[in-house]
Amino acid sequence: MKKLDWYILKNFLGTFVFIMALLLGVTIVVDLSEKIDSFMEYHATFSGVIFGFYVYFIPYITSLIGPFFVLVAVIFFTSQLAERSEIVAILNSGTSFYRMLFPYFMGASIIAAVFYMGNHYYVPYSNSKRIEFERKFIYKPYEGMRYNFHRRIDSTTIVYFENYKPVDKEGYKFSLDKFKNGELVYKLRSEKINWDSTAKKWRIFNYYIRELGDDKDKITNGELMSSSYVFTPDDFSFTEHEKETMTTPELISYIDFMHKGGQAYTEFYEVERWRRTSSAFSIYIMTLIGVSVASRKMRGGLGWHIVLGIGLSAAYEMIMKFSVTFSTNASLPPVLGVWIPNILYAGLALYLMKKAPK
C-alpha cells in the first residue's frame, strides 16, 4: 500500500468511528430518557444496571444502523477531499479512479468483517443479555396469538392448534395424531386445551378420540380429561426477540428443527439468518455509492452530499421493510426479500461509479 492508500484508509476508518461514537452518544441519551422511568421504578442503579444494560445495547444499535453511517462517513470525508481539490490532484497524478477505490474497499473490508462476525456471533450474545435486562427492568415479553400451528413432538406424534395463546397457555381446535409404520393409529380432537400449572397437566375439553385397530376402531369422547403429554407450553413459546438471541449456527439448527417438526412458518427466522450476511455485504455497496457521489465537486458541497447520503439510507431501509414484509407475509423467499435492496443498490452503485469523474 502506498502513502496515499494509508491516508485515505486512515481518514475512512477515523471518520466512521467518530460519526458512530457521536451517534451512539445521542442514541443512548435519547433511549435513556425514554427508559428512565422504568429504571427508577425498579430502583436500578447506574453502575449495577444502567451501565450494564448499555454495554449490551451498543452492539445491537451499531449492528442495526452501522452500514448506513458507513455511507455518511465516506461522503463526509470524500467531500472534503473534493472541496480541497485533492481528488483532482490524485487523478491528475496518473492514479485512476478505480485504483483510488482500493483503500476504500480495504476499509470497507475491515468494517464488513467486524460486522459479519458480530452479526453472526457476538451481537446475538449481547442481545440475549440486553433482552434479559429489558424483561427484568423495563417490560414483560409479549407473545401474540399463533394461528394454524403445527409441531412434531417426536417421530410418531404431531400436534395442531387452530389458535394458540402463549400468554394464557391455551389453545383451540386442538388435535393430536399418532402414527405407526407411517399409518395413523390414534387421533384426538378437542375444542379447547389449556395448561394446569398446579397439576402440571393439560386439561382437554369436549374431546373425541379415535383409536384405529385392525378389525375395528375404538371411539371415546367426553367433556373434560387431564393428560400428562410429553410436551409443555415451553415447547410452543415464541417471542419476537427470540431470533435475535441465537447465533447463526443455533438459528440454522432451530430452523431445521422447526421444519422437521412440521412447522411451516419459519420466515421470521430465515429473514434474520440472511439479514446478518446481507447487512455486512451492504457496507461495500454503501462505500462505492459514497465515493461515486462525493468525489464530484458540486454547488452546496458537503451539505448536499450529506443530505443525499441520508436520503439514500432512508430509501434503502424503506425498500428493506417492504421486501421483508413480502417475505414474512407473502410468498417471496426470505433470502431474496433480504437481498433485494442490495441488488437494487448494487446496480445504482455501478451506475454512479461510471458517472463519477475520472
Q: Which residue has the higher pLDDT, 71 or 307?
A: 71
Ranges of each domain in the chain: 3-139+267-355, 146-233
Q: Quote the pTM value.
A: 0.73
pLDDT digits (tens, 9 = 90+) for 169-189: 888 889 888 888 878 888 999
From 60, 57, 39, select the one nearest 48 (Cα to Cα): 39
pLDDT digits (tens, 9 = 90+) for 32-52: 888 777 777 767 677 667 777
Under the banding of pLDDT at 50, 70 and 90, the label for residue 333 is: confident
Sheet holding 201-211, edge to edge: 146-152, 157-165, 170-180, 183-196, 201-211, 218-227
Q: State the amino acid at position 350 in one-letter form.
A: L
- Going 83 to 22 to 289 to 305, the CA torsion angle's sign is negative
How far, in whole angstroms, is CA 115 from its chain's centroid?
13
Kindly report, residue by residue over 191-219, the tens digit of the pLDDT. 999 988 888 889 999 999 998 887 788 88
Judge contact between 228 and 200, C-beta under 8 A. Answer: yes
Tell me the three state secondary structure of residue 93: coil
DSSP label at residue 182: T
